[in-house]
Structure 1
Amino acid sequence: MDKTKILFVCLGNICRSPSAEAAMKALVKSKGIDELFEIDSAGITGYHAGEPADQRMQRHALNRHISLTSISRQVKSPRDFEYFDYIIGMDDQNMDDLFQLCPNDSSAKKLSKMTEYCTHHSNTSVPDPYYGGAAGFELVLDILEDACAGLLNTIHQNE
């Protein structure tokens, strides 16, 4: 059976998208289905390529037993668009950028925004916590955990 391949995308790949990657990995592992998934994250820009996730984001995630271990990388077009089944942006600007990078209409059908999968939060985007305080990092994790659960339900419904 082919793995379901998911790519989470934000601007720099040091806060939101690596957190989404780690939250989704933790969720599927807790359900004993991690072998059915390949989960990654990337940034629209390569500003932080090769760097680990933001230390503040790592600390907040660890408090929830979510470990951010990925190393930042930039989205690769067309490779990522061909390879991944789901490509998920964190906000409207990420979505606009992803549509600009998208090589064809078939790949565009793989794009969605993270908050589309939320069942408890009404946020229209995952806000960037980089310039804020602790509450911003916690809000991001709240939204991502909600959206990851919704995404998993959507994947199961689409199978």
Structure 2
Amino acid sequence: MTSILVVCLGNICRSPLAHGILESKLPSDRFYVDSAGTANYHVGDSPDQRSIAVAKAHGIDISQQQGRQFKITDFDTFDYIYVMDHSNFENIVKLARHTEDIAKVKLILEVDSSISEKHVPDPYHGDISNFENVYKLLDNVTNIISRQLLS
């Protein structure tokens, strides 16, 4: 089974959306998708209500996800680790034990060469439109990821 981890700062806004969107596009008998945060602010918490609402508006239920912090053993568990921004990338790479760990980590927007800004904006301090914008970015890029993984 192929395993994919998506990571943001707190694991309540961006990564839960990416988790839910990607999971909805991949067969569960072949792929395992999870999410985590680089910080421990929201361990055990549900996703932000705005993330839940935007996902629900697109037919995806992320309400049962629970925030967790990235741990070094995630390098062993996951085949692919997609991060939302450069800060998340640096925080995860600092925990890497060797080059094989580092090779698993990618900025999620890197898979779309048409996007020049490779940073998924954090919608936390914005309104629902910011969450919808993040959803659209992640929906597009997860289409690319799922096509690559399924080919």
Q: 1:121 to 1:34 in 2, by over 3 A?
A: farther
The answer for the alignment partner of 1:16 in structure 2 is 14
Q: How many residues align?
A: 150
- Taking the aligned partners of 1:85 and 1:15, their CA distance within structure 2 comes to 23
Q: Which runs of structure 2 are paired with 1:135-154 in the superposition (5 Å)?
A: 135-154=129-148
Using the size of structure 2 for normalisation, the TM-score is: 0.94
Cα 1:59–1:117 shift into 2, 3 Å:
same
Determine the structure 2 residue equivalent to 1:118: 112
Matched, 1:83 2:68: no
TM-score by length of 1: 0.89
Shift of 1:104: 1.2
Structure 1's unaligned 5+ residue stretches are: none
Aligned pair partner of 2:86 in 76, 82, 92: 92
1:23-52 CA-to-partner distances (Å, cap 9, x unmatched) read: 011112xxxx22100100000011100000
Aligned residues of 2:2 and 2:79 also touching (Cα < 8 A): yes
Cα distance between partner residues in 2 of 1:7 and 1:153: 17
- CA distance 1:105–1:94, change in 2 (3 Å): same
Q: Please report the RMSD computed on the Cα atoms of aligned residues, expressed in angstroms.
A: 1.4
Q: Are 1:49 and 2:48 counterparts?
A: no
What 5-or-longer segments of structure 2 have no aligned partner? Answer: none
AA aligned to 1:70 is: Q
Instruction: Give, in angstroms, the shift of residue 154 of structure 1.
Output: 2.3
- After superposing the two structures, state which structure 1 stretch, 44-53 or 118-127, moved more: 118-127
- Cα distance in 2 for partners of 1:121, 1:105 equals 27
- Which position in structure 2 is the counterpart of 1:7? 5
Distance in 2 separating the partners of 1:63 and 1:155: 26
Once residues 52 and 111 of structure 1 are traced to their aligned partners in structure 2, the CA distance between those partners, rounded to angstroms, is 25
Identity %: 35
